[in-house]
Amino acid sequence: MLSLLPVELIAKIVGELNLDDVIKISQLSRRLNLVASDPILNVWRLPILRNLRSEEYEGSLKNLSVYMSVPRHNWVDILSIGRASYILFETTLPNLKDAEWDEAFKRRFLPSWRKWRKDSSWRPAFLRVLHQTWHRSCTSCTANEAWTKYIVLNRNGSANQLEAASRTFNPALIFDDIRLQQNMLHLDMRVRLIVQFADVRVLALGTLNRPLSSLTVNCNAKTLLCPPGVLPATTAVAEYSPLKYPLPAQSHVDYPLYTPGGADKRWIPEEAGLEWVGGLMLVSQILGQGVNDASLEEGSLDRDFLVGPGRKQYVSFTWDDLWAIAPWLEEKITKQIDGPGLGL
């Protein structure tokens, strides 16, 4: 009976199975092997994605590259989403084209990380950066990046790209100094998760208040955290599409559109009248051991994102990274300043 079904329907049925069963079916007959090998039907993609989004991977995933019926472009998904330690130490990697390694690099890492490429091809560059990120996620090593860059959106519409020593980098202390300079130390620090990726998440540190004057309101802070035309209830907005480079984690898969599920906290209901005031600090935090979507539950707010195991390592966040996650801000920022000061 199976031989009488159209190949599209066979592919749809097989795609609902787990990975182990797909491997078995691909070896049952010549016709099923041809269906499994078709890169357009790609019966492997959904089982692979279900594995990558689960906490435990099927044993067959690590040796998937030995099966010739698996279209090689599925490995771009594995390299983009899979756990770093799993890719580095457990999987058997296939031979991929340099363009496919480049695609995986763009999907997984922040744009500014491309500066770390030192090879003529993208495979060693991808694996080196992945190992470096994994190493920093479980140690306090800062040998590869002595200075960590971050961005501050100012209330006057300008923005500064600043840096601090990586060994002692503490965004809470740096932001306390910013609040002190702006006479806002009496206001509580608020931390918002903007977006999470496979290895890092972008955090915003700011302050909320009922301003007596509009001069203290940071309009770009609200524009970044709550882009105009994008609301939690919005299902489709023509001028935005889900971010692809880099690829957000499942908890923020629809970013910059709202992702249901509780992890997307950009639209946390604030008390009426509160506005973002003063500067807004943007940092990129490496996801250390023990930090995953479970840390993004409803109770996780403010200092919970900065304090605790696996939350001490940071990597540079630059202009290129800001334009990647918030391209609508590029025309809103009146002046881009490298270093401290008001610029020329």
Domains of the chain with bracketed CATH: 1-71 (1.20.1280), 72-138 (no CATH), 147-338 (no CATH)
pLDDT at 2: 64
pLDDT at 269: 59
- Range from 23-27, 63-67, 159-163 that averages highest in pLDDT: 159-163
pLDDT digits (tens, 9 = 90+) for 168-196: 999 999 999 999 999 899 999 999 999 99
pTM of the model: 0.91
Confidence tier at 237 by pLDDT (50, 70, 90): low
Whether 100 has a pLDDT exceeding 60, the answer reads: yes
What average pLDDT does the segment 236-258 reach?
Answer: 85
Whether 294 has a pLDDT exceeding 60, the answer reads: no
pLDDT at 162: 97
pLDDT digits (tens, 9 = 90+) for 295-341: 444 444 677 888 888 788 999 999 999 999 999 999 999 999 999 88
pLDDT digits (tens, 9 = 90+) for 6-44: 888 888 888 899 999 999 988 888 888 888 899 999 999
Confidence tier at 344 by pLDDT (50, 70, 90): very low
C-alpha distances out from residue 297 to 9, 111, 195, 263, 266, Å: 39, 28, 14, 6, 13
Instruction: Report how far residue 35's alpha carbon sits from residue 72's, in angstroms, rounded to the nearest whole number.
Output: 15
pLDDT at 61: 93
Contact 121, 101 (CB under 8 A): yes
- Range from 130-144, 226-240, 314-328 that averages highest in pLDDT: 314-328
pLDDT mean across residues, the chain: 88
Position with higher pLDDT, 231 vs 317: 317
Percent of the chain with pLDDT over 90: 59
What average pLDDT does the segment 52-73 reach?
Answer: 90
Whether 343 has a pLDDT exceeding 60, the answer reads: no
Q: Which residues of 150-188 are buried (b: 16+ CB within 10 A; e: fewer)?
A: bbbbbbeebbbbbbbebeebebeebbeebbeebebeeee
